[in-house]
Chain A
Amino acid sequence: MWRFIGVRLLQAIPVILVVITVTFFLVRIAPGGPFDSEKAVPREVKAALEAQYKLNLPLFQQYAAYLDDLAHGDLGPSFKYPGRSVNELIAAGFPVTAELGLYALLVALGIGGLAGVCASLKPNTAQDYIPMSLAMIGICMPSFLLGPLLVLLFGIYLDWLPVSGWGDIPGDKILPSITLGAGYAAYIARLGRAGMLEVLSQDYIRTARAKGLPRWQVVFKHSLRGGLIPVVAFLGPAFAGLLAGSFVVETIFQIPGLGRFYVQAAFNRDYTMILGTTVFLSVLIVLFNLLSDILAAWMNPRLRAQFGGH
């Protein structure tokens, strides 16, 4: 197990380096410097600004300096919000995005897991078809359509829930969390159903049933762990998707999270902000992938045995 974790950790390092390098050079080859748009900045001021942001150095020295700063956890200053660092903006936005992502994940796991397990217990009956058809709708209905439709229905016509904000009015976290989580609930339902069906057809489940164990015990004690391995393996990619999805959801519901800052930075061409956020999110996603791989491996006794027990 430790060897497995070690191998995966070593594999993550080049990925993170590639992300940092590609992002850095992509942002640097973007047309136009960040100070070109300022109206008639005197040449000395521009030179001073460029010196301050180290833009006057050769590209590779800039890269080395950036890596050095990064190693110390410093993502640099923001170009568009003078006096604020990328670190501060991330510190302000990320907790909000993380909270939204967490609730969305709970929605996805709760609804999706339940639907998938229910469907797998009585395949090819109404108990299977109804949740699976809903799941298909969930997969095909993008969040930027689902969000406004939910707002229209629950926020405006029925007037049950607030239509925007985050933590200002009670209940304003419900619609964003559902909007973000719905698509993943659908995927998890499908994965959970397929995984459970496979486990339920195994010999050891038949043995458990033949021994006369109660049905709930067979489902919860014997099947769930194996059946949900595909779901756990999906959590890494789902996390990446949730972060990207938060761009849209935060825009729709006017939530001051990192996703909205990122899209705003993309509009404003705030290069350091884009660079810093991309690096931050990428590292986070790589680590999360790693974590979900390890968890899935830990849940899978065959893989555990392959790497020599605990």
Chain B
Amino acid sequence: MNARAIDDIARAEQGTSLWKDAWLRLRKNHLAVFGLVILALFVIIALLTPWIAPYSYQAQDLELGASGPSAAHWLGTDIFGRDLMTQIMYGGRISLAVGFVATAVALLIGVTWGAIAGYVGGRTDAVMMRLVDILYALPFMIFIVLLTVVFGRNMLLLFLAIGAVEWLTMARIMRGQVQSLRQQEFVEAAISLGLSPATLIRRHLVPNALGPIIVYTTLTIPNVMLLEAFLSFLGLGIQPPQTSWGLLISYGAETMEEYPWLLIFPGVALTLTLFSLNFLGDGLRDALDVRGAKD
């Protein structure tokens, strides 16, 4: 085999790297692409809300009161004459922020925990994973309600509380990955070259376990958003004057008989986002060929 041929092979291999290959497969999955587009759109809208919202967040029109969709208010107004589209845009900022931040907390705890347990192994691993098993058996919805009582209704604590309960599956997945990676030769080589455990985990183990982490992260975000909406619906989550989709749905449900659009539009926004994330997560799982990240 001459040098040129080797070069060609190298280039061909580079051409179908794991990530490119996954991207090609993801692109063929129409539902996942749909999810990605909707999600990107919602995130961009959320980021730009202060500049593109049709009305200011506090703007009221008490004379107008609740009105259905019209040219001036595309999605109608609530009983205070506030523009529903503006409310949904600002609510989406909070709902999405809770989703991303709490998932990031869960990611950080879960990946660290799982990586250490899988890397150290032995008795440490047994104790750490036994703890995860115990926490798994706890009724978390109930505990979150309890936590909102104990810590008051502080949004930062809400992030932390939700993140703190969603990390368990992540830890399990990460541990499994690290355990199988540890047996590989390049890890052995890195250890014998004297890499510190922390660097080894950061540089070699986490990047190689990225596929399952990405998939599971995508599937955790909708769970977290659902949890926030659940709490806000009960009045234990986001508090006025701030708003979120869960809170808007809760208000909408109170007056749905007279003003059904106040329930339906925030509901569509939340459901569409959850749909998109689930489709994208399923698509990514197939594209990256990750097994056992869900079900």
Taking a contact as CB atoms under 8 Å apart, the answer to whether B267 and A244 are in contact is no
Assuming the contacts A14-B134, A194-B295, A285-B139, asked whether A145 and B149 have C-beta atoms less than 8 A apart, the reply is no
- With an 8 A cutoff between CB atoms, is B129 at the interface? no
Contacts of A136 in B (CB 8 A): 275, 278
Taking a contact as CB atoms under 8 Å apart, the answer to whether B278 and A140 are in contact is yes
Contacts of A27 in B (CB 8 A): 146, 149-150
CB distance from B267 to the nearest CB of A (A): 5
Taking a contact as CB atoms under 8 Å apart, the answer to whether A152 and B146 are in contact is no
Interface string of B109-153 (1 = CB under 8 A from A): 000000000000000000000000010011101110111111110
Contacts of A240 in B (CB 8 A): 139, 141
Interface string of B7-37 (1 = CB under 8 A from A): 0000000000000000000000000000000
- With an 8 A cutoff between CB atoms, is B263 at the interface? yes
Q: Is the interface of A mostly helix, strand, loop or mixed?
A: helix
Contacts of B267 in A (CB 8 A): 145, 149
Within 8 A of A (CB), among B259-295: 260, 263-264, 267, 270-271, 274-275, 278, 295
Interface string of A27-61 (1 = CB under 8 A from B): 10111000000000000000000000000000000
Assuming the contacts A26-B146, A145-B249, asked whether A140 and B274 have C-beta atoms less than 8 A apart, the reply is yes
Interface string of B43-59 (1 = CB under 8 A from A): 00000000000000000
Contacts of A269 in B (CB 8 A): 149
Interface string of A236-253 (1 = CB under 8 A from B): 000011011101100110
CB distance from B55 to the nearest CB of A (A): 25
- With an 8 A cutoff between CB atoms, is B42 at the interface? no
Contacts of A19 in B (CB 8 A): 138
- With an 8 A cutoff between CB atoms, is A139 at the interface? yes
CB distance from B208 to the nearest CB of A (A): 28
Taking a contact as CB atoms under 8 Å apart, the answer to whether A282 and B138 are in contact is yes
Which B residue's beta carbon lies closest to that of A183? B226
- With an 8 A cutoff between CB atoms, is B235 at the interface? yes
Contacts of A30 in B (CB 8 A): 149-151
**A139, A243, A262, A289: the one within 8 Å of B137 (CB):** A289
- With an 8 A cutoff between CB atoms, is B63 at the interface? no
Which A residue's beta carbon lies closest to that of B148? A266
A-B residue pair count with CB separations less than 8 angstroms:
114
Taking a contact as CB atoms under 8 Å apart, the answer to whether B149 and A144 are in contact is no
Instruction: Provide the bound-state CA to CA distance between A230 and B292, in Å.
Output: 13
Taking a contact as CB atoms under 8 Å apart, the answer to whether B278 and A266 are in contact is no
Assuming the contacts A18-B134, A145-B270, A152-B263, asked whether A266 and B149 have C-beta atoms less than 8 A apart, the reply is yes
Interface size bucket, A side? 35 or more
Which A residue's beta carbon lies closest to that of B236? A266
Taking a contact as CB atoms under 8 Å apart, the answer to whether B139 and A244 are in contact is yes
Taking a contact as CB atoms under 8 Å apart, the answer to whether B139 and A248 are in contact is no
Contacts of A285 in B (CB 8 A): 137, 139
Instruction: Provide the bound-state CA to CA distance between A15 and B137, in Å.
Output: 7
- With an 8 A cutoff between CB atoms, is B253 at the interface? yes
- With an 8 A cutoff between CB atoms, is A190 at the interface? yes
Contacts of A241 in B (CB 8 A): 141
- With an 8 A cutoff between CB atoms, is B62 at the interface? no
Taking a contact as CB atoms under 8 Å apart, the answer to whether A244 and B142 are in contact is yes
Within 8 A of A (CB), among B194-237: 222, 226, 229-230, 233-236
Contacts of B150 in A (CB 8 A): 26-27, 29-30
Contacts of B270 in A (CB 8 A): 142, 145
19 new A-B contacts, CB < 8 A, other than A145-B270, A263-B234, are A27-B146, A27-B149, A30-B151, A140-B274, A142-B274, A144-B233, A148-B256, A149-B263, A156-B256, A243-B141, A243-B142, A248-B230, A266-B236, A267-B236, A269-B149, A278-B139, A282-B138, A282-B139, A285-B137
Subset of 21 A-B contacts with CB under 8 Å:
A14-B134, A18-B134, A26-B150, A30-B150, A140-B274, A141-B271, A142-B230, A142-B270, A144-B233, A149-B264, A149-B267, A152-B257, A152-B260, A191-B295, A230-B295, A244-B142, A248-B230, A248-B233, A263-B145, A266-B145, A278-B142
7 residue pairs, one from A and one from B, having the closest CB atoms:
A244-B141, A148-B253, A140-B274, A144-B233, A30-B150, A145-B267, A285-B139
B interface list, Cβ under 8 A from A: 134, 137-139, 141-143, 145-152, 222, 226, 229-230, 233-236, 246, 249-250, 252-253, 256-257, 260, 263-264, 267, 270-271, 274-275, 278, 295
